[in-house]
Structure 1
C-alpha cells in the first residue's frame, strides 16, 4: 500500500513527470563495484530515500583487453529497496544475475516504474562494451524500516478531499451481477465502480485507485487496484472494507405473505 492523499481530477505522474521532493534523508544505499580483471573494485556508493531518484557513480576505465563491463550492486540498509533502471553511459545491460524476477532485465533497461526488488540483494549486471570513462546511472529508491504515512480512506469527501472512514459508496444489490461459477476477478472486465486519484506519500508514483464491486446470490465481491503501487511488499500491505447495509421494510403484501 502507498499511503498519502487522494483527490480527483489530477493528472497521473508518469516516469517522465515524477518529481521527488528536495528534502533528502538517506534510508539506505547501493554499493557499486566494477570487475577489474579478476578483482571487484569499489567504485562508489549511491544513497537513496523513499522516493525514486537518479544517482550517478563513475566507474572509471577498464583495461584495454576487457570486452565487457561487469558491475555489482550491493544493497545496504532500509526496509525495502527497488531498482527501476540501471544504465551505463545511457546503455542498458545485456544480462543480470542475483534476482529471481524473470523480467528483471527488461525492467531495469528503462525508466518506467516497472521495478525489481533489490532489498538485501547483490545484483550483477553485464554491459556489452568496455567502459572507457563509464558512468553508471541508477534510478532507484530505498524505504525506511518504518512507514509513517497515514493510510488512504475512501470515499473522499469535503473540500480537502480527505476520507474520514464514516462515509460510504452506495452499491445497489444486483446492479453488477457476477455470473454463476465466476469469481470477483471477472468484474475487472467491466468499467470500475469507483476511481480516485491518489497522491502518494511513500515515493510510489501517484496514480489512480480503481475499485470494482459486484455480487452473486451469496457473496459480495470487492476488488481494488492501486495503479501506482508498483512494488510487491507481501504482508506489509493490507486493505479493509466497511459495509453499512440499508434495510427496507416490506409489507406482507409485498413479501407475498397470506
Structure 2
C-alpha cells in the first residue's frame, strides 16, 4: 500500500528543507546476507525465506497438497491439486512457514479469480484477483480463499513474497547526501508556493500543485522501484510537507513513518 504522509510545522523563516523518508523499506539497504551454506543446510533454506503450505477443503477437513517457496521478491508459482472436486466451490488455505512478513499479489485457480477472501473486505478480494504488485498481508493463522466451481484442471497459481526475518533498517534519505553540508537540504523559499491541506492522508488537495521533488527509489527489500513524490507549501502559519511513497506496497502498520528536518540560519526543527 502506498504511504502518504503530511505534516505541518510552525515556522520561523523556514528556508532550507530536508526530507528523510523512513519507511520499513530502505532505499539503499543491501540484500540480507544469510551467510555461508553449512552442512545440513538445504539449498532451499538458503535461496528462500519461507514457504506457503497449500491446503484444500475436502468434506470439512483441510488436506495438505504441497508447498511453494518464496523470497522477498514477488514471484509467481503454480501447483496442481489432485483429487479436488471442481464441480462446486473450492476453498484453498495458504499457511506461512518461516521468514518474516508474507504478502499475496494474486491467487488464481485455472486462471479464474477468487470469489471470496475469508475475513477480508472487498479491497482485498480485488487485490488478489489480478497481478499488479498491490499486495495483501497473509494472515497469521493462514488465509482462506474461495473459488467458484469453474476450474477444469485444478492448477493453483500464487504470486507472493516472504521477507527475511530481519531486514535492513537503513532509511530512505533525500536529497542524496554529498560532501557539502548545504547539499544535504532542499531549498524552499517561503511563499513561493501558497496553500494549505487537511490532514487526512489524501492527495486530492495537492494533485494540481507543482511537485517540489521527485526522487527515484530502488529498495533492496523486494518492494518495487518507483518514485517518492513531495509537495511543499505554506500559509501564514504553517509549512506543509506532503510525501507519497509509491514503492511501499505493503501494510506494515506503525513500522512506516516519515521525518522532516527544517534548517535555517536561526531555527532548526
Query: What range describes the TM-score normalised by the shorter chain of this pair?
Result: 0.7 to 0.9
Aligned to 1:10: none
C-alpha contact (below 8 Å) 2:110/2:152 kept by paired residues: no
Q: Report the alpha carbon displacement of residue 106 of structure 1 after superposing the two structures with TM.
A: 0.8
**Structure 2, gaps ≥5 residues long:** 1-22, 30-44
Comparing 200-209 and 118-127, the one that deviates more: 118-127
Residue 183 (1) aligns with residue 203 (2): no
For residue 178 of structure 1, report the CA deviation from its aligned partner: 1.7
Please state whether the residue corresponding to 2:175 is helix, strand or coil.
Answer: coil
User: TM-score, structure 2 length as denominator?
Assistant: 0.74
Residue 187 of structure 2 is matched in structure 1 by 170
Higher Rg of the two aligned structures: 1
Aligned mates of 1:164, 1:42 — CA distance in 2: 58
Mapping for residues 1-258 of structure 1, pairs under 5 Å: 1=23, 2-5=25-28, 25-63=47-85, 66-99=87-120, 101-129=121-149, 131-148=151-168, 150-156=170-176, 167-179=184-196, 182-183=197-198, 186-246=205-265
The answer for unaligned runs of 5 or more in structure 1 is: 7-22, 248-258
Counterpart-to-counterpart distance in 1, 2:47 and 2:255: 22
Task: Tell me how far apart the structure 2 counterparts of residues 5 and 96 of structure 1 sit (CA, whole Å).
Answer: 35
The total of aligned residue pairs comes to 224
Conserved 8 A contact 2:136-2:251? no
Is the 2:191–2:234 contact (alpha carbons within 8 Å) kept by the matching residues of 1? yes
Distance 1:183 1:70, change over 3 A: closer
Instruction: Tell me the TM-score normalized by structure 1.
Output: 0.77
Deviations along 1:93-123, whole A, 9 cap, x unmatched? 1222133x43111110110011111141422
Greater RCO (Cα-Cα under 8 Å, separation 6 or more) = 2
CA offsets, 1:142-171, max 9 Å, x none? 11232125222211366xxx9999611110
Contact 1:79/1:119, CA 8 A, preserved across alignment: no
- CA deviation map 1:41-64 (0-9, x unaligned): 101111222111112222113247
How far apart, CA to CA, are the structure 1 residues paired with 2:117 and 2:227?
32
Distance 2:85 2:245 in 1: 47
SS in 2 for 1:61: coil
Distance in 1 of aligned mates of 2:238 and 2:175: 22
Aligned mates of 2:127, 2:98 — CA distance in 1: 23
Greater mean alpha carbon deviation, residues 168-177 or residues 138-147: 138-147
Contact map agreement 2:57 2:91 (CA 8 A) in 1: yes
Q: Deviations over 1:53-97 (max 9, x none)?
A: 112222113247x42222111223333111010011211112221
Distance in structure 2 (CA, Å) of the matches to 1:130 and 1:34: 16
Residues 43 and 164 of structure 1, relative CA distance in 2, 3 Å threshold = farther
CA-based RMSD of the aligned residues comes to 2.8
